[in-house]
Amino acid sequence: SDVCSSDLVTCLLRVMMNELQQIYAAPRQPSTNPNDGALPGPAIALYKPNQIGLATFVGTALGGGILIAINETRLGRRSAAWKAVLFSALATAALLGIAFAVPENFPTFPLAIGPLIAMRAIAVKRQQDLVNAHLAAGGKSGSSWAAAGIGLASLVGVMVRSEEHTSELQSLRHL
């Protein structure tokens, strides 16, 4: 069936989900392709899934996506790193749009916990085995403080931009 047979939002969500499944699908067999991931040296730090969850909790899906991208880059998978940032930015924008659209009495807990669960699950599926192997080989773990700081920076960046956008919309309403 056609991916875009219904409305535009549903179409975009289906395309994004299909792309995410392809990006984060576990390799079927060991590969000799360097883009499938290679352990960095022991002096290089990789972030654990819980730290990626922390960045998402403190900040936004973008914060978690940035940590996933850092790991992907350090694992030699630059294409996946760019996609992680892109999709986490899109997810953050979509969640902000939903948050502004729902009524004031709408429960927002799912909007807050959903990205946390999703980003941690992506990190576990996509990176956990490589992070564990890196740590077992004496490699460093990323700093939880740095993870929280990146999450907070993503929150500040998103809130500043959303405040600018809200101010622009309010000024247009007064015309």
pLDDT in tens, 28-84: 444 444 445 688 888 899 999 999 999 999 988 999 999 999 999 999 999 999 999
pLDDT at 126 over 70: yes
Least confident of 64-68, 109-113, 131-135: 109-113
Global pTM reads 0.72
- pLDDT above 70 covers a percentage of the chain that reads 70
pLDDT at 174 over 80: no
Can you say whether residue 139 is alpha, beta or left, with left for phi > 0 and alpha for psi between -120 and 50 degrees? beta
Mean pLDDT of 88-103: 86
> Bigger pLDDT: 58 or 99?
58
Mean pLDDT of the chain: 79
Can you say whether residue 76 is alpha, beta or left, with left for phi > 0 and alpha for psi between -120 and 50 degrees? left
pLDDT at 97 over 60: yes
